[in-house]
Amino acid sequence: MNLDKHNANIGRGIQPGILELEGMEFHVCHGCLPHEKTVGNLFTVDFRAELDMSAATKSDDLQDALDYGLVYDVIRKEMEIHSSLLEHLAGRIVGAIADAFPQLGNFSIRVSKRRPPVNGVAAWSRVTLFYSIKAGMTLFYKNK
């Protein structure tokens, strides 16, 4: 195999791809009920972004990629701040990611809460929010 020819074709014709960071776990105190504010619960967060990764496919350099370690840090910081509602928590995370990574045009955040307090059995409650610059979502989720 001619490696020069092979390497020259890396990244050529690549469409935007998907970067995911799934199953981030946090034991935190979110919720409306008194015991949720003190005992805490397991929450998971999933991040999914559509982005152009062609530069990183060519360079093999972190400078040309979305550093998902930094994405994790933004999410962790927001998870440490109490919210009563999953919708509010997910909205804050969306706003923080949009502020920290303005190059992201489309991404989603899913926040899941283990064994939510309902009158029956439920393994998880979940909220998924989508962010799109084209849809004007920046008006709704910008942090102030």
CATH of the domain at 55: 3.30.1130.10
Q: What's the pLDDT score for residue 144?
A: 39
Is residue 113 flagged as an active site residue?
yes
Q: Return per-residue pLDDT of the chain as tens, 144 residues.
A: 454 554 555 556 667 899 999 999 999 999 888 888 888 899 999 999 999 998 998 999 999 999 999 999 999 999 999 999 999 999 999 999 999 999 898 999 999 999 999 999 999 999 999 999 876 544 444 443
End-to-end CA distance of the chain: 54
Catalytic residue among 5, 37, 58, 113: 113
Domains identified in the chain, total number: 1
Q: What's the pLDDT score for residue 12?
A: 64
Q: What's the pLDDT score for residue 92?
A: 97
Q: Which of 103, 107, 109, 74 is nearest to 91 (CA)?
A: 109
Q: What's the pLDDT score for residue 14?
A: 67
Question: Does residue 54 sit in helix, strand or coil?
Answer: helix
Q: Which residues does residue 108 pair with via DSSP β-bridges, in sequence order?
A: 48, 130
Q: What's the pLDDT score for residue 16?
A: 84
Q: How far apart are alpha carbons 141 and 93 in whole angstroms?
A: 9
Range of the domain at 32: 3-141
Q: What's the pLDDT score for residue 139?
A: 40
